[in-house]
Every structure is written in C-alpha cells, then in structure tokens.
Amino acid sequence: MKAISMLVGERESERYMAAIARKMHSSFFELGHNSEEIILKINPEGEHIESFWGQEFEEAFRWLFPESLNSEQSLLYSLSGNWFQRTFKRI
C-alpha cells in the first residue's frame, strides 16, 4: 500500500524543513513501513513556492494513483500543458 509521498526543498526554510522531513522519513521506517510505502524526495534547489511543487506534482500523482491513468492519456495530458486541470476533470 502506498501511503506518503514527501517533497522537500533544501531552500524551503533556513535550515529546518529538510532535516525535519528526513527525521519523519526515518520514523516511518522505525514504525515498520518500507520504501515502497513512503517516498522522500529532497531537491537541493527547491523553495517554498507553488512552481516548485507543481513541477513535481505529476510524478507524485502517478505514484499515488497509478491505476487512475493509462499511459496514452497521461502522455496527452502532460504534453497539453494543462495536465492537472484535465486529469481532475476526468476523475
């Protein structure tokens, strides 16, 4: 079962956000979760802004809900430049 996808940018806060995310990620493993259930992605250039999250949204969505899109539809929506809106109109 896929449970949590965490995305953090090293530049989201002065020094705390990535460290907290790493600690939280470790805590999930201590509770018995595995690497297929919990994903942590830390981008060294990531900032606390929507454009950063938006760049990563499709990957997280595909990981969380792989059964909701087939590859042909997904490719079309990605190439259209309006992937998010078109995807959620379908669901």
* pTM of the predicted model as reported, rounded to 2 decimal places: 0.62
CA of residue 65 relative to chain centroid, distance: 11
Separation of alpha carbons 60 and 41, rounded Å = 10
Among 12, 84, 3, which Cα is nearest to 43's?
12
| SS3 of residue 36 by DSSP | coil
60-80 pLDDT per residue, tens: 877 777 766 665 555 545 544
Instruction: Check: CB of residue 56 under 8 Å from CB of residue 41.
Output: yes
Average pLDDT, the chain: 76
pLDDT of residue 22: 92
pLDDT of residue 79: 45
